[in-house]
């Protein structure tokens, strides 16, 4: 770790030194066309913002299917991380409860690393579960709304298709 910090420090100092030796620009001139351009009209900004809001509101069912799928995967990762964290903490406690000569290990026991990894696993699972469950629920509810809009009935000799706006 110390070598990495030293390497980054040397690299930054060489980069800064090479930039400091470049010639200073004598004069910077801006073209008059750049300075005299009119500011955009409020109407065009408003219409562009309105267009973006309309596009945002028209998301397809595929978008919500992907959101639901990502939520399911993220929830699974959160559950696995939480379970792995609990198992690591349990294994670390078992190793720490044995009789060790602390002088040999400089005051730490072999189970301390597992305890830290388990705690990090549990801490990482909290946002994964929160985000995953939220994404899963939003995707599911929006897909259900789309399913209520489209009705397809197929009979023996007829088929109907209805789309409610």
Does residue 83 belong to any structural domain of this protein? Answer: yes
Structurally, the chain folds into a number of domains equal to 1
Does residue 95 belong to any structural domain of this protein? Answer: yes
Q: Is residue 154 within a helix (H) or strand (E), and if so which, with residue range?
A: strand 150-154
Residue 144 belongs to domain spanning:
61-165
- Residue ranges in the chain assigned as alpha helix (H): 2-20, 32-35, 42-57, 61-96, 112-149
pLDDT in tens, the chain (165 residues): 666 666 667 776 666 655 555 555 555 555 655 555 555 555 555 566 666 656 566 677 888 899 999 999 999 999 999 999 999 999 988 887 776 655 555 666 778 888 999 999 999 999 999 999 999 999 999 888 877 776 677 777 777 767 666
Q: What DSSP designation does 120 have?
A: H
Does residue 97 belong to any structural domain of this protein? Answer: yes
Does residue 96 belong to any structural domain of this protein? Answer: yes
Q: What is the pLDDT of residue 153?
A: 72
Does residue 27 belong to any structural domain of this protein? Answer: no
Q: What is the pLDDT of residue 40?
A: 53
What's the pTM?
0.55
Cα-trace Rg, the chain: 30
Does residue 148 belong to any structural domain of this protein? Answer: yes
Does residue 35 belong to any structural domain of this protein? Answer: no
153: which strand partners?
160
Q: What is the pLDDT of residue 33?
A: 58
Does residue 26 belong to any structural domain of this protein? Answer: no
């Amino acid at each position: 770790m110390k070598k990495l910090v030293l390497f980054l420090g040397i690299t930054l100092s060489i980069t800064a030194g090479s930039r400091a030796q470049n010639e200073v620009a004598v004069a910077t001139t801006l073209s008059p066309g750049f300075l005299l351009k009119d500011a955009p009209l409020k109407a065009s900004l408003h219409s562009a913002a309105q267009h973006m809001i309309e596009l945002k509101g028209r998301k397809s069912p595929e978008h919500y299917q992907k959101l639901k799928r990502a939520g399911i995967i993220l929830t699974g990762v959160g559950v696995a991380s939480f379970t792995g964290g609990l198992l690591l903490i349990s294994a670390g406690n078992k190793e720490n409860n044995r009789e060790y000569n602390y002088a040999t290990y400089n005051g730490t026991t072999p189970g301390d690393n597992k305890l830290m990894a388990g705690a990090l696993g549990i801490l990482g699972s909290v946002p994964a579960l929160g985000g995953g469950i939220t994404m899963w629920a939003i995707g599911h509810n929006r897909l259900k709304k789309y399913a209520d809009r489209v009705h397809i009935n197929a009979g023996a000799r007829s088929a109907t298709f209805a789309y409610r706006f």
